[in-house]
Amino acid sequence: MPEIVLQGVTKRFGSVIAVDNLTARIRDREFFVVVGPTACGKTTLLRLLAGLIRPDQGQIYFDGVLMNDVPPQARGVRMVFQGQDYALYPHLEVYHPRRWSNLSFPLKLRRERPEGIQARVERVVRRLGIPASWFARRPHELSEGQKQRVALGRATVLTPKVFLLDEPLAHLDPPSRAQARAELRRLHAELGATTVYVTHDLAEAFLLGDRVAVMREGRFVQVGTPKEIRDHPADAFVAEFVRAYEEGLRQAFGP
């Protein structure tokens, strides 16, 4: 799975600089978490990696291959979007063996044979614990946790080289979030995909990330392991992030 390298990547929207001269290296098969406040550039970074938008300046490489002009469908990237519907197709069932459905959609686009589609979907539903009782439902008939699981299934029915997740747990209740975090770590171990995960929650970043990048105003303020960021914050902004996280732990569990 690819190592991702960003060299001086900048993306502007009018007068707003969403990603500002960003240089970083994301290791092969790493679970890399980007954490930061709203509007700091996290989602824009994912969209750049996915090829949904192009950088105004700088280069993006996957294993040394320049990706700037490579279309999304040729990158081997799968993305789970932020939002309550997880970008599921509202008019499609979870899965149907003959019709277009949410889980089979990427395979149908590739004109896979029916037996190949069935085999891939069966593997995904086993991996994620998606029961057959959900198959005939449409997204509005699913709970938040169920929609999240189907979105992960659709994103991984074709094994990704790079897996991008934009706050996919934001709308889950605390018990469901804890379960989903464990599933994501297990899924990452099984897929081996280089994973970039975006969140505003430092606790989630520390629980999931091999390394964590703290982002502010389009730049990475600090990149390190959870322990490195906790023990040695790079500046006052990171230190305040850590302080708020530790205060939340104290309130939840006591001193």
Mean predicted confidence (pLDDT) in 162-169: 89
Helix (H) or strand (E) holding 42: helix 42-50
Task: In whole angstroms, give the CA distance from residue 13 to residue 100.
Answer: 36
Task: In whole angstroms, give the CA distance from residue 143 to residue 28.
Answer: 34
Predicted confidence band of residue 96 (pLDDT cuts 50, 70, 90)? very high
| Per-residue pLDDT reduced to its tens digit, 59-86 | 999 999 999 999 998 999 998 887 656 7
- What is the pTM assigned to this prediction? 0.88
User: Across all residues in the chain, what is the average pLDDT?
Assistant: 90
- In this prediction, residue 85 carries a pLDDT of 67
Task: In whole angstroms, give the CA distance from residue 149 to residue 168.
Answer: 10
Predicted confidence band of residue 11 (pLDDT cuts 50, 70, 90)? very high
Helix (H) or strand (E) holding 58: strand 57-62
Radius of gyration over alpha carbons of the chain, in Å?
A: 19
Residues 193 and 161: beta-carbon distance below 8 Å: yes
Task: In whole angstroms, give the CA distance from residue 11 to residue 136.
Answer: 41
Of the candidates 154, 146, 9, 28, the one whose C-alpha atom is nearest the C-alpha of residue 79 is: 154
Question: Six-digit token pair at 1?
Answer: 């799975």
Task: In whole angstroms, give the CA distance from residue 203 to residue 245.
Answer: 6
Q: How many residues does the chain have?
A: 255
Task: In whole angstroms, give the CA distance from residue 239 to residue 235.
Answer: 6
Neighbours of 242 (CB within 10 A): 18
| Sequence-ordered alpha helix ranges (H) in 110-254 | 114-128, 144-156, 174-191, 202-208, 226-231, 236-253
| Per-residue pLDDT reduced to its tens digit, 180-205 | 888 888 888 888 899 999 998 888 89
| Per-residue pLDDT reduced to its tens digit, 214-227 | 999 999 999 999 99
Residues 11 and 56: beta-carbon distance below 8 Å: yes
- In this prediction, residue 249 carries a pLDDT of 60
**DSSP secondary structure string for all residues of 74-116:** GTTEEEE-SSTTTT--TTS-S--SSS--TTTHHHHHTT--HHH
